[in-house]
């Protein structure tokens, strides 16, 4: 295309690569303006739904919406409803319509995890059907297949019932659509359900002592071609997920990327498309671009028609702002809040409306930092420009952490010709029902609990685990019999208790009964109500306090919100205080999270084997009444990050920051080398480095940790997990995890400690967004002091700074083989601390003087600072290695001071 509409500046612009003469451009502008004023047209392909139930609940007459649809009245649909003691409530249209119109502006900007309310549907919210008891709508299905189920909720004022306090469930056939749902304002929920029979039931079941209600209902046929039954997985790459129609889908997000909100009258299937502005994580790095909708083409022979998405979706996009000067590693990013424990169907819509010629635009697509599509060339996929294309993926629940889905598009750095750009036109995210056939909560239609791990496959795993537990118990009994035949001296040395590693010495006084109960639970001999014990490997030997739920409720004031001190993908962390005044950190898992169960198991398995001054200690756990709770020592000064930026806490001195980094490095060094088989943390960041009352740092959160590769392996192949900004790029590209992935993340932590700013800050200019890239840029220029935290700038000696930055720079080498071990990094940090302390002693701790730039000359022309450095270099020449804390106790020095030059 020669021209495109720059919606940010409300003007038409000539594409940089266009060779159209100015006169042609002027004529084109006139033509485009003319086309924009033509009526909105669609393809010749239309869809007439065989089943089309539209009900305005509680209304005495039919309601016609501005989009042309007619919703039938209660009188016309009374035969569909079977209920007892139903109550109809309605209010005057004018009074509620006024309230609705006043709230209409909030619809288009809604950021809730559901579809927005289209303003054209406001008349449907003026009446309501109330259900004091379970009630059922029964529909005759003339053509089985996929059907839209759309529900409208608004708590219309009623003299008898307070609908804002209503709590209820909604079932659709065998699926749970809503569980313990309530609505205090306008709400709209949209589902896609595959109906296999000729009858379909929609059930409303109020919670005890409350009622259920609904304002309007749609049950409408959808095209068979809308969703494929087999969809590719984001990870593992190439894996197909079959049986998509065996699940129900809930529309979580549907975006018209780069374009305006589209209401039902603009869509072929009466869908609503939000603008992407709320979810765009880096607006400054993107710009809207659009063309006339009439220029978009569909390849109907391949099944791609306007029923997939209307032309107005494909005619707008987000592209990279100033793409020619863009950093090659920069991506356009959209972030969405989702529910943990569910898989999601993600549909990406593309249409190349920015290229002037074929095969000139190549870009990559990432979902949660996993490569989903590489070197995408839309013109090769479609054979033409301005041609619609879409791609579906399933993101498994195991690849979702922190309740987030992140979609990114970015340049492919392997292609050095063509447009350095990336685009996205539309995006749909749909939650998939879990193994309990639920889209909300963990209960089946019968009301019985069926957690996310209750499927047949999981039951087989549990059965296998129980079998292993029985075998372990038998072996334990045999061992006990043999022990009795040994001399007492041997019995003392090899007692059962000596096999168990105490979790916390201060709690070794736990009663014998409690201790045995803890050990037996891990061998599968005690079955908790939740069944979570079966998830803990029988090989784990754990001896610690088993807390009762009542104890932890008392300690946390019944898990009060005011006691929350942190929130993560596993769940919330509470401050607990025991009767004796001992403070605890109580991490309460979210029972609906499959990832949480995995983290619960991993934390126990990892921390039960580890004991180090710079690792947060696990004190005990609780698994009563469907709970997953881990109890840790309390770190009163919280995360390292909170003392660097983003809070009102007092700033840390340079020496304190060095000591904290050294402590964290010691903890990581122990992980990598101190255990029988090394452990890779996989989520090293400043929020996972906690500080106690004396500012001693300890590494925390082992939910993502992995056992390191054995001697005959070079890496561990695993799904990419970690935190954006800290993630090792080599691990991200190859899905091959090594200890050097932790080293890279720790390098980012070092720069974060030095510069006191977020590792990713989309509010900054593009070249400054990534701390890692920004710091390396100034390091290469030899001017790293330009971006360090002003608070510590006058405290750091130049020698200490150089050694510190040298360590950070080496950590962030592109390839893992070029990075030092964490032990080498530790040596350099300790050396940096020694240089700092020596410089302070030499120059004096004089307030207001900058040690970085201060060099007092002495009589021989040498600076005192240089003399200090020379003294340390003399020591280094005599000792090529030093001893540090760790299992091997001996770590080679990976660099000498030498002349420090920015590279």
Q: Which residues are catalytic?
A: 683
Entry field: residues in the chain: 903
Chain-centroid distance of CA 32 in Å reads: 41
**What secondary structure does DSSP assign to 223-257, as a single string?**
-GGGS-SEEEESSSTT-EEE-GGGS-EEEEEEEET
Q: Please report, for residues 230, 803, 821, 829, 890, the alpha-carbon distance to residue 743 in angstroms, rounded to integers and kept in the order given.
A: 39, 16, 7, 13, 18
Q: Up-side HSE of residue 283: CA atoms within 13 Å toward CB?
A: 8
CA separation for the pair 567, 230 (Å, rounded): 35
Q: What is the rounded distance in angstroms from the CA atom of residue 405 to the CA atom of residue 334?
A: 8
Give the alpha-carbon dihedral of 126, 127, 132, 135, to 10 degrees.
Answer: -120
Residue 746 main-chain phi, psi, to 5 deg: -70, -30
The 8 Å CB, 24+ separation contacts for 876-885 are: 882/827, 882/830, 884/666, 884/669, 884/823, 884/826, 884/827, 884/830, 885/666, 885/669, 885/670
Please report, for the chain, how many H helices and E strands are present, in that order. 18, 46
CA distance 636 to 695: 9
Q: How far apart are CA 263 and CA 273, in angstroms?
A: 7
Query: 8-21 burial, b for 16+ CB within 10 Å, e for fewer?
Result: eeeebebbeebebe
User: Distance between terminal CA atoms of the chain?
Assistant: 42
H or E element: which one contains 394?
strand 389-395
| Token pair in block for residue 862 | 């040498």
What is the rounded distance in angstroms from the CA atom of residue 683 to the CA atom of residue 222? 43
Question: Is the CA virtual torsion 870, 872, 877, 878 positive or negative?
Answer: positive
3-class secondary-structure state, position 496: helix
Q: How far out from the chain centre does Cα 482 lie?
A: 51
Query: What is the enclosing helix (H) or strand (E) of 521?
Result: helix 512-522
Beta strands in 104-162 (DSSP E): 127-131, 135-140, 145-153
The 10 Å CB-count burial string (b at 16+, else e) for 143-155 is eebbbbbbbbbbb
Distance from C-alpha of 442 to C-alpha of 433, rounded to nearest angstrom = 10
CA distance 764 to 330: 13
State how far Cα 70 lies from the chain centre.
41
C-alpha 216/C-alpha 74 separation (Å) is: 10
Contact present, 779 and 903 (Cβ < 8 Å): yes
DSSP string, 330-366: -EEEEEEE--TT--EEEEEEE---S-SSTT-B-EEEE
* 519-534: burial string, b at 16+ Cβ within 10 Å, e else: bebbbbbeeeebebbb
392 three-state secondary structure: strand
The SS3 assignment for 577 reads strand
Give the SS3 label for residue 582.
Answer: coil
Between CA 183 and CA 164 the distance in angstroms is 6
């Amino acid at each position: 295309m020669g021209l495109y509409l720059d919606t940010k500046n409300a003007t038409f612009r000539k594409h940089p690569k266009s060779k159209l003469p100015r006169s042609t451009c002027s004529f084109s502008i006139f033509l485009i303006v003319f086309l924009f004023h033509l009526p909105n047209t669609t393809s010749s392909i239309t869809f007439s739904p065989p089943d089309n139930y539209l009900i305005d609940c509680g209304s005495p007459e039919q309601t016609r919406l501005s989009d042309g649809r007619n919703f039938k009245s209660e009188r016309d649909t009374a035969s569909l409803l079977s209920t007892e003691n139903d109550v109809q409530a309605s209010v005057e249209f004018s009074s509620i319509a006024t309230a609705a119109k006043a709230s209409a502006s909030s619809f288009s900007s809604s950021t809730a995890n559901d579809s927005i309310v289209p303003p054209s549907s406001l008349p449907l919210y003026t009446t309501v059907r109330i259900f004091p008891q379970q009630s059922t709508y029964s529909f005759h299905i003339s053509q089985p297949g996929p059907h839209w189920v759309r529900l409208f909720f608004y708590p219309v004022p009623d003299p008898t019932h307070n609908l804002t306090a209503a709590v209820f469930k909604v079932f659709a056939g065998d699926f749970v659509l809503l569980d313990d749902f309530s609505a205090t304002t306008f709400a709209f929920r949209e589902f896609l359900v595959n109906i296999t029979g000729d009858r379909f039931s929609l059930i409303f079941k109020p919670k005890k002592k409350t009622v259920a209600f609904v304002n309007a209902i749609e049950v409408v046929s959808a095209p068979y071609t809308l969703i494929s039954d087999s969809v590719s997985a984001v990870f593992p790459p190439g894996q197909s997920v079959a049986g998509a129609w065996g699940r129900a889908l809930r529309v979580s997000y549907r975006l018209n990327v780069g374009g305006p909100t589209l209401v039902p009258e603009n869509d072929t299937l009466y869908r609503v498309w939000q603008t992407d502005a709320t979810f765009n994580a880096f607006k400054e790095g993107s710009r809207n671009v659009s063309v006339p909708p009439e220029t978009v083409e569909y390849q109907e022979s391949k099944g791609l028609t306007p029923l997939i998405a209307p032309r107005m979706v494909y005619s707008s996009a987000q592209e990279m702002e100033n793409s020619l000067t863009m950093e090659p590693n920069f991506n356009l990013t959209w972030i969405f809040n989702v529910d943990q424990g569910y898989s999601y169907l993600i549909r990406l819509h593309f249409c190349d409306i920015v290229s002037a010629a074929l095969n000139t635009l190549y870009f990559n697509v990432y979902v949660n930092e996993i490569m989903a599509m590489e070197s995408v060339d839309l013109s090769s996929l479609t054979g033409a420009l301005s041609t619609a294309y879409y791609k579906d993926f399933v993101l498994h629940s195991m690849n979702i952490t922190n309740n987030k889905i992140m979609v990114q598009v970015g340049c492919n750095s392997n292609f050095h010709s063509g447009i350095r750009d990336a685009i996205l036109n539309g995006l749909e995210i749909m939650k998939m029902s879990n193994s309990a056939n639920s889209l909300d909560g963990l209960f089946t239609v019968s009301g019985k609990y069926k957690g996310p791990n209750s499927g047949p496959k999981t039951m087989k795993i549990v059965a296998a685990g129980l079998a292993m537990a029985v075998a372990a118990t038998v072996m334990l009994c045999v061992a006990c019999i043999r022990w009795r035949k040994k001399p007492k001296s041997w019995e003392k040395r090899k007692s059962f208790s000596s096999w168990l590693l105490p979790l916390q010495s201060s709690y070794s006084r736990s009663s014998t009964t409690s201790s045995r109960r803890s050990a037996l639970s891990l061998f599968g001999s005690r079955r908790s109500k939740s069944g979570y014990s079966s998830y803990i490997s029988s090989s784990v030997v754990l001896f610690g306090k088993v807390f009762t739920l009542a104890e932890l409720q008392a300690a946390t004031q019944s898990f009060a919100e005011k006691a929350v001190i942190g929130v993560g993908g596993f769940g919330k962390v509470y401050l607990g205080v025991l009767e004796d005044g001992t403070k605890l950190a109580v991490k309460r898992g979210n029972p609906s999270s499959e990832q949480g169960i995995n983290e619960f198991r991993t934390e126990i398995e990892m921390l039960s084997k580890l004991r180090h001054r710079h690792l947060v200690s696990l004190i005990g756990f609780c698994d009563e009444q469907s709970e997953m709770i881990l109890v840790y020592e309390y770190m009163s000064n919280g995360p390292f990050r909170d003392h660097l930026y983003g809070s009102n806490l007092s700033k840390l001195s340079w020496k304190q920051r060095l000591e904290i980094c050294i402590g964290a490095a010691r903890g990581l060094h122990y992980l990598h080398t101190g255990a029988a088989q090394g452990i890779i943390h996989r989520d090293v960041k400043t929020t996972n480095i906690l500080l106690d009352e004396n500012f001693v740092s300890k590494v925390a959160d082992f939910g993502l940790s992995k056992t390191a590769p054995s001697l005959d392996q070079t890496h561990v192949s695993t799904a990419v997990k970690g935190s954006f900004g800290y993630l090792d790029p080599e691990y991200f590209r190859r899905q091959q995890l090594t200890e050097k992935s932790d080293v890279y993340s720790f390098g980012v932590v070092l720069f974060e400690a030095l510069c006191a700013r977020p590792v990713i800050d989309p509010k900054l200019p593009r070249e400054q967004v990534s701390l890692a890239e920004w710091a390396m840029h100034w390091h290469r220029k030899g001017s790293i002091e330009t971006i360090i935290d002003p608070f510590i700038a006058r405290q750091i000696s130049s020698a200490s700074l150089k050694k510190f930055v040298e360590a950070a720079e080496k950590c962030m080498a592109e390839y893992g083989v070029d990075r030092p071990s964490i032990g080498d990094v530790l040596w350099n940090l300790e050396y940096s601390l020694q240089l700092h302390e020596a410089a302070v002693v030499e120059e004096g701790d004089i307030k207001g003087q900058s040690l970085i730039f201060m060099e007092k000359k002495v009589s021989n022309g040498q600076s005192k600072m240089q003399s200090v450095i020379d003294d340390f270099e003399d020591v280094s020449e005599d000792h090529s290695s030093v001893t540090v804390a760790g299992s091997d106790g001996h770590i080679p020095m990976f660099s000498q001071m030498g002349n420090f030059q920015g590279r």
